[in-house]
Amino acid sequence: MRIIVAIDIIGGKCVRLTRGDFSTKKVYNKDPLEVARQIEDNGLSYIHLVDLDGAKNKKIENIKVLEKIAGKTNLKIDFGGGLRLYKDLITVFNAGARQVTAGSIAVTDPRLFMEWLIRLGQEKLILGADCIDRKVSTGGWAETSDKDIISFISDYRSKGVKYTICTDIKKDGMLQGPSTALYKEILGKVKINLIASGGITSIKDLEDLREGGCDGAIIGKAVYEGKITLKELGRQC
């Protein structure tokens, strides 16, 4: 299972939110590159880099952070936030991302999402499937659709999607454990590479997700709050 550390960006700084609420913003480091280097120095290879300004404003805002991290580390970067046009994807890949995550577009413009999937291929495009009360959310979690999370993932899997990041918004930033039961339910119905996100607080959480069949797990606030150390995570790789 891939161990992936989240780096969320607002105004060029490394931050964390609680349940996606911008009013809960807490700055952990003014230099995301320093965070990225610490991640790499502890033997980890993957980061989930989220442009929160981009997600909110519906356009890429923090491309320079991506360029700096990609240019000065060997980390494999998945980038999300503010992707609206195919040229945005090309910009992000040219800046050094290995994969991109697209969620809102998959809900609001399925035809465009499928165009991206066909043009990029299933290895480069990750379906962002964020939910609250099992309903898919969009727009930086500001809006909730009527789409059931399992049906949503299953539908896109049948169309060729290979990877999905599934975040239970109620768990995000709460440090109370992930939605392991939901992930097991999804994987019991859909054969997909599922990356768990939200609420992961301990090594035991990671072990449970691994046993449940998850392809990856994204850890954010637990690292920044010292609940799990990067050294401990490095041992899990």
pLDDT in tens, 214-235: 999 999 999 999 999 999 999 9
Q: Which of 51, 12, 53, 4 is nearest to 34 (CA)?
A: 12
pLDDT cut 70: percent of the chain above it: 98
Q: Does domain 2-235 have CATH number 3.40.50.2300?
A: no
- Quote the pTM value: 0.95
Half-sphere exposure at residue 63, Cβ-oriented, CA atoms within 13 angstroms:
13
pLDDT of residue 15: 97
Task: For residue 101, list its beta bridge partners.
Answer: 80, 126
Contacts of 110 (CB under 8 A, 6+ apart): none
- Eight-class DSSP state of 118: H
pLDDT of residue 173: 82
pLDDT tens digits, one per residue of 143-189? 778 999 999 999 999 999 999 999 998 898 888 999 999 999 999 99
Residue 139 has pLDDT above 80, yes or no: no
pLDDT tens digits, one per residue of 111-128? 999 999 999 999 999 999
Q: How many residues in total does the chain contain? A: 237
Dihedral pair phi/psi, residue 138, rounded to 5°? -140, 180
pLDDT tens digits, one per residue of 1-32? 999 999 999 999 999 988 888 899 999 999 99
DSSP code per residue over 23-40 = EEEEEEES-HHHHHHHHH
Give catalytic residues, as residue numbers: 8, 130
- Eight-class DSSP state of 22: E
Confidence category of residue 87, pLDDT binned at 50, 70, 90: very high
